[in-house]
């Protein structure tokens, strides 16, 4: 019943937005199977989607969705294992991790090196509903079970020491259930959030030597934004985004996830913070608002995705879509209340929880698939408002974007294409160009793995 009320409210809310929304040309979701941009990776354009409905068993009412009875750790472990192997095309999990590091280093540094002990990895997670108080809640976000699986992979199969791993959201709080999991299984991993107010959790600090500029002079503090110290110094990033709608940006996937990584000096927050110098990204919302920015307009997400210390320093991107939600806040209960997960009506979810993990090396490809899913799902209405895929067009063509923007977030020259974008043929077959033509296809290859089909 709660999920139904939320959906009804959001539909009416979105209908109000649609009345005043701009017209998108081309409309979101079109054209189909016409890729553009340049993909990369071991299998360029590959996006792996692992679905296991048996992993998620919450009744939607009692307890927390991340309780052990409601989210099966062993099944999540298996899902991540399948995802990594399928991404690389190698059945050996240790070799798969080595392949990912070698491919990354060959592309970025010109040397096909594996992971070297002592190198650091920073992982940006999305905890957008968690701020103000360290109190567990049922907001949809990354799960402790998924993080446990990933940390096990990194320490067991990739050979990374716990002390060289950082898990963070600089604009939000790491809740007690996360801290409990890390303290029990990975006590030496570095946890960083906005306040550093619980146990071993550290407070994010901006690196004064870091540099990030936005490629539009209308952005406040255009050339003053800083990154966390450990992010600026990290050898690698791994991005773990949430899988949901967003009432301003339409969707929250890998692009929007970086909002929790930036320090904004000399600009007000408009979110309870009036002093200059904070991790609040609210001043950027105008530049990602899909209801007021048409296709072919500047989008701040492209600057974040293209910065050499963020997505461009990322080994791979994962969407934790085990319990996805309609948006960041529960609009039926009052502002700033985290929004709970909702079931997904569309096939292949069939009125169950989203129960999925998606992974790719190409962020544009991953977000393209994520958008196709979210905009099709009736319970995620915000994904259908405004020009939601404008940032994907801009990012795929960052070297020559439709807006004419010279995207140059590092100040060292215009970006190249950030990846390949296209839309699937339809929501039933879910085929991209490499699914249709594996030999000559130039776009996305969606690999679906269903572990518990009815």
Quote the CA–CA distance of 374 and 362 in Å, as a whole number.
18
Q: Three-class SS of residue 123? A: strand
Among residues 361, 417, 326, 364, which one has the least CA distance to residue 96? Answer: 361
pLDDT at 15 (0 to 100):
40
Range with the lowest mean pLDDT among 268-282, 350-364, 436-450?
A: 268-282
pTM, two decimals, is: 0.94
Band of the pLDDT at 453, cuts 50, 70, 90?
A: low
Bigger pLDDT: 273 or 177? 177
Would the pLDDT of 138 be above 90?
yes
The boundaries of the domain holding residue 219 are 2-450
Which of 138, 118, 137, 200 minimizes the C-alpha distance to 167?
Answer: 200
Q: What is the mean pLDDT of residues 302-314?
A: 97
Question: What is the tens place of the pLDDT at every residue in 172-201?
Answer: 999 999 999 999 999 999 999 999 998 899
List CB contacts of 214: < 8 A, sequence separation 6 or more: 222, 223, 225, 284, 287, 300, 303, 409
Rounded Cα distance between 103 and 216, Å, is 33
Query: In this structure, what DSSP letter does residue 312 have?
Result: G
What was the pLDDT predicted at 13?
Answer: 44
Q: pLDDT tens-digit profile of 422-436? A: 999 999 999 999 999
Q: Residues 73-89: what's their mean pLDDT? A: 98
Q: What is the mean pLDDT of residues 94-109?
A: 97
What is the residue-wise DSSP string for 351-394?
SB---EEEEES-HHHHHHHHHHHHHH-TT-GGGGSS-TTHHHHH
- Among 320, 386, 388, 328, smallest CA distance to 354 is for 320
The total domain count for the chain is 1
- The distance in angstroms from the start CA to the end CA of the chain is 24
Share above pLDDT 90 across residues of the chain, in percent, rounded to a whole number: 84
Burial class (CB in 10 A: 0-12, 13-18, 19+), 285: middle
Read off the pLDDT of each residue in 291-303 and give the average, rounded to a whole number. 97
Q: How far, in Å, CA of 25 to CA of 323, rounded?
A: 32
pLDDT reported for residue 9: 42
Residue 276 in tokens: 């200059």
Dihedral-angle region of residue 66 (phi above 0 means left; psi in -120 to 50 means alpha; beta otherwise): alpha
Residue showing tokens 């190409």: 362
- Asked whether residue 375 carries a pLDDT value surpassing 70, the answer given is yes
Distance from C-alpha of 348 to C-alpha of 326, rounded to nearest angstrom: 18
Q: What does the alpha-carbon distance between residue 149 and residue 79 come to, in Å, rounded to a whole number?
A: 9
- Indicate the SS3 state at residue 179: helix
Cβ–Cβ under 8 Å, residues 120 and 167: no
Q: Greater confidence, 440 or 328?
A: 440
User: What CA–CA distance (Å, rounded) separates 46 from 146?
Assistant: 21
> Between these two residues, 53 and 18, which has the higher pLDDT value?
53
Q: Rounded mean pLDDT of the chain?
A: 92
pLDDT of 12 above 70: no
The stretch 388-411 carries a mean pLDDT of 98
């Amino acid at each position: 019943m709660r999920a139904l009320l939320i959906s009804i409210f959001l539909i009416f809310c979105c209908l109000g937005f649609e009345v005043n929304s701009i017209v998108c040309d081309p409309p979101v979701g079109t054209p189909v199977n016409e890729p553009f941009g340049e993909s990369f990776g071991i299998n360029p354009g590959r996006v792996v989607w692992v679905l296991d409905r048996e992993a998620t068993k919450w009744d939607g009412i009692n307890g927390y969705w991340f309780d052990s009875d409601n989210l099966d750790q062993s099944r999540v472990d298996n899902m991540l294992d399948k995802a990594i192997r399928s991404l690389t095309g190698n059945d050996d999990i240790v070799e798969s991790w080595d392949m990912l590091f070698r491919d990354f280093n060959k592309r970025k540094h010109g040397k096909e090196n594996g992971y070297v002990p002592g190198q650091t990895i920073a992982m940006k997670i999305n905890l957008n509903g968690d701020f103000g108080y360290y109190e567990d809640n049922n907001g949809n976000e990354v799960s402790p079970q998924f993080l446990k699986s990933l940390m096990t992979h990194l320490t067991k199969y990739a050979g990374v020491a716990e002390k060289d791993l950082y898990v963070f959201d600089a604009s939000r709080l790491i809740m007690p259930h996360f801290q409990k999991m890390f303290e029990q299984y990975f006590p030496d991993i570095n946890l960083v959030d906005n306040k550093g107010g619980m146990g071993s959790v550290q407070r994010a600090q901006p690196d004064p030597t870091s540099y990030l500029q936005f490629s539009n002079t209308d952005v406040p503090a255009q050339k003053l934004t800083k990154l966390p110290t450990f992010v600026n110094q990290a050898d690698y990033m791994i991005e773990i985004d949430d899988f949901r709608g967003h009432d301003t940006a339409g969707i929250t996937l890998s692009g929007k996830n970086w909002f929790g990584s930036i320090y904004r000096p000399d600009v007000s927050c408009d979110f309870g913070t009036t002093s200059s110098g904070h991790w609040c990204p609210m001043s950027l919302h105008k530049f990602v608002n899909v209801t007021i920015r048409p296709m072919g307009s500047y989008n701040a997400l492209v600057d974040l995705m293209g910065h050499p210390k963020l997505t461009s320093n990322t080994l791979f991107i994962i969407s934790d879509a085990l319990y996805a939600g309609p948006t960041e806040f529960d609009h039926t209960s009052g502002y700033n209340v985290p929004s709970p997960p909702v079931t997904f009506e569309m096939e292949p979810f069939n009125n169950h929880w989203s129960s999925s993990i998606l992974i790719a090396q190409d962020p544009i490809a991953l977000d393209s698939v994520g958008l196709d899913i979210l905009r099709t799902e009736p319970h995620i209405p915000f994904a259908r408002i405004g020009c939601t895929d404008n940032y994907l067009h801009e990012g795929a063509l960052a070297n020559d974007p439709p807006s004419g923007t010279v995207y140059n977030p590092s100040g060292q020259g215009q970006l190249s294409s950030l990846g390949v974008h296209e839309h699937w043929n339809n929501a039933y077959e879910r085929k991209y160009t490499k699914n249709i033509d594996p030999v000559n296809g130039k776009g996305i290859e969606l690999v679906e793995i269903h572990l518990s089909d009815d």
